[in-house]
Structure 1
Amino acid sequence: MPILGVIFYFYKSPRFIPEEIIKAKLVSLFILTVILPILLYFLLKTLGKVQSIYLATTKERIIPLILNCFVIIIVLQRIITPSQIVELYFFFVGILISTMACLTLALFKFKASIHMISVSGLFMFFAILSIHFSININGTLALMAIIMGAVATSRLHLNAHNYKELIMGGFVGAIPQLILVPYWL
């Protein structure tokens, strides 16, 4: 989801950003937010710290969430800095806050839906960008609302989560993005 947010930002932003910078940021983010987590998963699976990709228990979620916090911190320090692209910087700060909140919930034995956290955070980022840049992306927001509903329905259908876990995931993803709005809007 972070890479989708960054692609959307570069596509919709009225600011001029050189194409080389866009490509470098996208490649770097793809490596750190897609490839590295996959490699870390296989490492954790080999070490016996996780049983499956589904992270069915709250105990299994703790180490991957801690590692994800470190990955997001690296992104914030090396790739998306506030002096370059402030909107994306605070998007990733929101992701970090959501990840830390999910980790805290896991420590208290509550399994919030990480799927809902990511899709609701992305939805809120899109909505805030629409206001910030005064652009009409109602179609995108409607599509994101449908995707959020589909994600929630699929998680319920697979018995991966209950309603409380889905609702909590939605709030954990959206609230940090809303809280950070005054810092960049």
Structure 2
Amino acid sequence: MDKLLKSISYIFHPLIMPLCGVVFYFSKSPRFIPEEIIKAKLVSLFILTVLLPILLFFLLKTLGRVKSIRLETTKERIYPLLLNCIIMMLVLKRIVTPSQAIELYYFFLGILISNMVCLLLAIFKFKASLHILGISGLCMFFVALSIHFSININGTLALMAIIIGAVATSRLHLKAHNSIELIMGFFVGVIPQLILVNYWL
């Protein structure tokens, strides 16, 4: 059970949530999007939102700014969150512009706002759960897309609810967060996506 709960934290790591949202969007969008464009977007986003943060983490570790991938203290979180905010700004500027895919633009804008809120909380010594933030924000995006495209994804949403519960259980079991930090992570993930829905739904 201990290994299972640890693996859940790695499988549903917040770094891969943005890419999951993009894959889901392209799989459900009724619009015709050339396959070459889809592949180019996915590769670009994988490099920027997954590979680059990993490389920057090792750089920060080498410089002594972080100790482990768990980012156990609020002080360790500041630089990774700051760098992630910069990466999200780059994504919004170059990869998912409003003219190309307005849904993805506001999805990533919501991610940027969530990261900025977490950065502010870290500065004030509060550690919101990034795992719950990522999966709950993704779930909210799925809900919005199901309404926007008029598609039935009840099975997916039920699975997402189970995953959120599993991730929360995992974080509590590993003593990475307390219940308040999990709840805060949930709201910081959901609220920006919920507010921004008004601009594209």
TM over 0.5: yes
User: How much does 1:43 deviate?
Assistant: 0.2
**Which residue of 130, 139, 142 corresponds with 1:126?**
142
- Asked if 1:149 is matched to 2:165, the reply is yes
Matches within 5 A, 1:67-78: 67-78=83-94
Structure 1's consecutive aligned runs of 4 or more residues displaced over 2 angstroms after TM superposition are none
Structure 1, unaligned runs of 5 or more: none
Deviation at 1:164, TM superposition (A): 0.2
Superposition RMSD in Å: 0.4
Question: SS of the counterpart of 2:161?
Answer: helix
Residue 156 of structure 1 and its aligned partner are, at CA, apart by: 0.3
Q: TM-score, length-normalised on structure 1?
A: 0.99
Deviation, structure 1 residue 101: 0.5
Q: Which residue of 2 aligns with 1:163?
A: 179
Corresponding residue of 1:60: 76
Deviation string for 1:75-130 (max 9, x for gaps)? 00000000100000000000000000000111111000000000000000000000
Shift of 1:71: 0.3
Q: Which has the higher contact order (CA 8 A, sep 6+)?
A: 2
Aligned-partner Cα distance in 2 for 1:40–1:51: 13
Q: Normalising by the residue count of structure 2, what TM-score does the alignment of the two structures yield?
A: 0.92
Q: 1:86 aligns with which of 77, 83, 102?
A: 102
Identity of matched residues, % = 77
1:15: how far off?
0.8
- CA–CA distance in 2 between the matches of 1:98 and 1:16? 30
Structure 2, unpaired ranges of 5+: 1-16
Is 1:182 aligned to residue 190 of structure 2? no
The letter for the 1-side match of 2:43 is V
1:14 corresponds, among 10, 30, 42, to: 30
Q: 2-side partners of 1:89 and 1:136: how far apart? A: 23
